[in-house]
Copies of this chain bind each other. A is one copy, B any other.
Amino acid sequence: MILQIDTHSAQPLYEQLRDQVVFGIADGRLAAGEALPSVRRLAADLGINFHTVSKAYAALAEEGYIAVDRRRGAAVRAATGGDVPKFVGQLTLCAAQALCRGMAEEDFIELCRGCYRQAQEGGASCKK
């Protein structure tokens, strides 16, 4: 899987990396157990500071998406499932914005369904 970053975006590089890995896991490009490139390798490939990659990996590990082993590097973890989703706040904010624009419930639901399928099938990106 090829990660791409936009150095001109207002979004921090480490967040871009984190989001792209999440998208990769969601659409299956990154399977459970699969190894991620080493911090220094990925940093070299992208031409960025390895501290930035390290920060992205730390964020992903903290949220349970990957497991970091000091000797074997980082690897994708299996779906954790259970815990209360952290993103309901964001989702509610999206819903509030839709409501402000007068979007009906079913229209919002259709939009959500479209986003789910796009994330599932790949090709998704997130430019905040």
CB distance from A8 to the nearest CB of B (A): 5
- A72 (CB) vs chain B CBs: closest residue: B7
Bound form: Cα–Cα A117–B22 in Å: 27
Within 8 A of B (CB), among A42-86: 62, 65, 67-72, 75, 79-86
14 sample A-B contacts, Cβ–Cβ < 8 Å, listed by A number: A23-B92, A25-B100, A26-B96, A26-B99, A85-B103, A86-B97, A91-B94, A91-B112, A95-B116, A95-B118, A98-B116, A105-B117, A108-B116, A109-B116
Bound form: Cα–Cα A65–B81 in Å: 27
Number of copies: 4
Q: Is the CB of B115 within 8 A of A95?
A: yes
CB distance from A10 to the nearest CB of B (A): 7
CB distance from A105 to the nearest CB of B (A): 6
Using Cβ atoms and an 8 Å threshold, which residues of chain B touch A90?
90, 93-94, 126, 128
